[in-house]
Copies of this chain bind each other. A is one copy, B any other.
Amino acid sequence: MIDDEKFLRGKIPMTKLEIRILTLAKAKLEKNSIIVDIGAGTGSITIEAAKICSNGKIFAIERNFEAVELIKRNFERFSVENAEIIHSEAPDGLKNLPNELDAAIIGGSGGKIEKILDVLGKKLKIGGRIVINAITLQTAAKSIEYFRSRGQNYDACQIQITRLEKIGKYDMSKALNPVWIISAEKI
């Protein structure tokens, strides 16, 4: 559990602490897990996953050059050695990954959520986990529709975190943007 301000961020959006914790928990990672983090952004999810999967490996797919540079610097900062950056867009960047992945975390889908889920259907092992973080209504709705139309079970919730921020003698309610977390298991 790494505090948000420990990560280098630049102008790249970052999955906030509480959402990271819940996302990682729903991915049911283990020490040996091999996983992919799609739309890795600042690398915050990848880095926390790398700590949990200390004998495993994390592939971080990110299309944005600036973000890729940031991930590299965050990897150094947190001495991450079991993660690899793939500077590419999903689902293209998924092609050369090993099969039988234990989990896929999708933080950004660039409007291609269905195609990404199609490819993940082949890349994940039976029982492998998919965890989607959606910040738009459309990505949430499309993800759920994808699972529904295939008769696949899923779990979905919306998380609204409000931080209490210290302002002198007061604690002010500051809302973070809500996120849908949709998770499913390959059967």
A178 touches B157 (CB 8 A): no
Q: Mark A124-138, 1 if CB is under 8 A from B, else 0.
A: 000000000001111
B18 touches A136 (CB 8 A): no
Given contacts A136-B167, A138-B169, A171-B137, contact A18 B157 (CB under 8 A): yes
Say yes or no for A28: interface residue by CB 8 A criterion: yes
Residues of B within 8 A of A138 (CB): 141, 169-171
How far, in whole Å, are A156 and B141 apart by their CA atoms in the complex?
16
Q: Which of A19-27, A65-73, A74-82, A85-93 contacts B (4 or more CB under 8 A)?
A: A19-27
**Which single member of B1, B157, B159, B179 contacts A28 (CB below 8 Å)?**
B1
**Distance between A28 CB and nearest chain B CB, rounded to angstroms:** 7
**Distance between A174 CB and nearest chain B CB, rounded to angstroms:** 6
What's the number of copies of this chain in the assembled complex?
A: 4
A137 touches B136 (CB 8 A): no
B161 touches A162 (CB 8 A): no
How far, in whole Å, are A18 and B18 apart by their CA atoms in the complex?
10
Q: Mark A113-153, 1 if CB is under 8 A from B, else 0.
A: 00000000000000000000001111111001000100000
Say yes or no for A99: interface residue by CB 8 A criterion: no
Q: Mark A26-66, 1 if CB is under 8 A from B, else 0.
A: 10100000000000000000000000000000000000000
How far, in whole Å, are A174 and B135 apart by their CA atoms in the complex?
9
**Which single member of B28, B148, B171 contacts A136 (CB below 8 Å)?**
B171
Q: In chain B, what residue has the closest Cβ to A170? A: B136
How far, in whole Å, are A142 and B61 apart by their CA atoms in the complex?
31
Residues of B within 8 A of A178 (CB): 158, 162, 173, 175
**Which single member of B22, B162, B167, B172 contacts A157 (CB below 8 Å)?**
B162
- Residues of A at the B interface (CB closer than 8 Å) are 1, 18, 21-22, 25-26, 28, 111, 135-141, 144, 148, 156-164, 167, 169-180
